[in-house]
Amino acid sequence: MISFDVGEDLEAIVEMVKSVADDVIRPRLREFEDARGLPEDVLQQIHELGLTTLAAPEDAGGQGLDLRTACVVAEELAAGDVGAAVAISGPGPAGWALLEHGTDEQRKRLLEPFAADDAWARRGALALLEGAGGFGPDAVGTTARRDGDGWVLDGKKRFVLDGDTAELTVVVAVDADAPLGQWDSLRVLAIEGRPEGMTASEPHLLLGLHTAHYCDVELAGVRVPGGNLLEADDARRALGRTLARWKLENAARLVGCMRATSEYAFKYATERETFGKKLYEHQGLAFMMADMATEVNGARWAIWRAAWELDRTADGSQPSGGEARQRAAIAFRNAIDTSVRITSDGVQVLGGHGYITDHPSEKWMRDARTLGVVNGLGLDDDRAIAEEVLR
């Protein structure tokens, strides 16, 4: 039976993260945005609390916690500032790829450096997208060519989070000797460090998420040792689960963003008066704020359900997880649409004040729209959602 009970252990983690979000992140969100990154003291504090390696296996120095826990933590951090939540260090989506594709030896070897005491600035990246059409076997042009005991990568990836600084980059490429357009022709390889032939663009200047670095990464004859080929039994299933985990973590960040927006708007509406009434006493705004609260909770439950189902199928004892991946696609799509609507409404509640930087509402609106676009990954999401509806 699915349970939405947080439990004592997770509640303690939530309280710790909420304290960081409220006391450390929220007061400095404009500073982080202007600096286009997080300062050392914040990165160190988040790392020392173990928040960068929650899902990493225990034998790699992580906590070995489940996806739902990662989503709860992502929401709490994003409630402080979604840009900061995206910009924290750690293995990031590369960690999800290793959990789904890597062997026990590969997970331990490649993730253990992220748990070191001095790893507060170490980052991982997932180099996946190449165009605006999402992800699938037909959308991969980067090639992996066998060369002796290793591989050589050539191609260009777009919108790679931390692509300019990552010390571990997981790349999805197509085998140069395999038929094109097939899932089993894809190869997932882990690049350690910044080898010769690997270059990154300057971070893109986006509408929002200025704290995070999204770059284009070019691979020109980059050599990868054979031991860094991540081979899953079912490439499509493993990639689908990797993206589902990433989607749900980002969906949780969007929930944190819309929660912050709605709470700020509610507080403003109880303090501001027009025509002799508090703002919340005007019927139109009261309806709007009731819808905001309802939709935030609905988006959260959809994410938790999908995360619970993915966790349940992680060990292979349950069915392949196709339905769980569909649930993740639905939860992510819903979070994108809902966050755009709620953050826009949050600005509207403040009226003209919502558009000036004295208030964070306009930033949250920009961040929510940007996060939904740059991480709007494919893998047949629309088809998966349609199949779920027609089941």
What CATH number corresponds to the domain at position 186?
A: 2.40.110.10
Q: Considering 195, 215, 230, which residue would you say is the last residue of a domain?
A: 230
Across the chain, mean pLDDT equals 88
Rounded to two decimals, the pTM is 0.92
104 and 136 together in one domain: no
Q: What is the pLDDT of residue 205?
A: 93
Whether 1 maps to a domain, the answer reads no
Q: Are strands 150-161 and 198-200 parallel, antiparallel or unpaired?
A: unpaired
93 and 144 together in one domain: no
302 and 186 together in one domain: no
Q: What is the pLDDT of residue 279?
A: 63
Domain count, the chain: 3
Pick from 69, 74, 60, 149: nearest CA to 102: 60
239 and 385 together in one domain: yes
293 and 380 together in one domain: yes
Per-residue pLDDT of the chain (391 residues; tens, 9 = 90+): 555 566 677 888 889 999 999 999 999 999 999 999 999 999 999 999 999 999 899 999 998 989 999 999 999 999 999 999 999 999 999 999 999 999 999 999 999 999 999 999 999 999 998 876 667 788 889 999 999 999 999 999 999 999 999 999 999 999 998 887 788 899 999 999 999 999 999 999 999 999 999 999 999 999 999 999 998 888 888 888 998 999 999 999 999 999 999 999 988 888 776 666 666 566 567 788 888 889 999 999 999 999 988 988 865 445 455 677 788 889 999 999 999 999 999 998 888 889 999 999 999 999 999 998 887 555 445 454 444 444 4
Separation of alpha carbons 272 and 335, rounded Å: 29
DSSP for 103-136, written as a single string: -HHHHHHHHGGGGSTT-TT-BEEEE---SSS--S
Separation of alpha carbons 111 and 54, rounded Å: 11
Q: What is the pLDDT of residue 137?
A: 80
Whether 168 maps to a domain, the answer reads yes
Q: What is the pLDDT of residue 155?
A: 96
Domain carrying residue 317: 235-390
173 and 302 together in one domain: no
What distance lies between CA 302 and its chain's CA centroid? 16
Whether 3 maps to a domain, the answer reads no
164 and 37 together in one domain: no
Q: What is the pLDDT of residue 89?
A: 94
CB neighbours of 276 closer than 8 A, spacing ≥ 6? none
29 and 111 together in one domain: yes
Q: What is the pLDDT of residue 389?
A: 43
Q: Considering 89, 115, 141, which residue would you say is the last residue of a domain?
A: 115
Q: Considering 84, 115, 146, which residue would you say is the last residue of a domain?
A: 115
The domain that contains 270 carries what CATH number?
Answer: 1.20.140.10
Whether 2 maps to a domain, the answer reads no
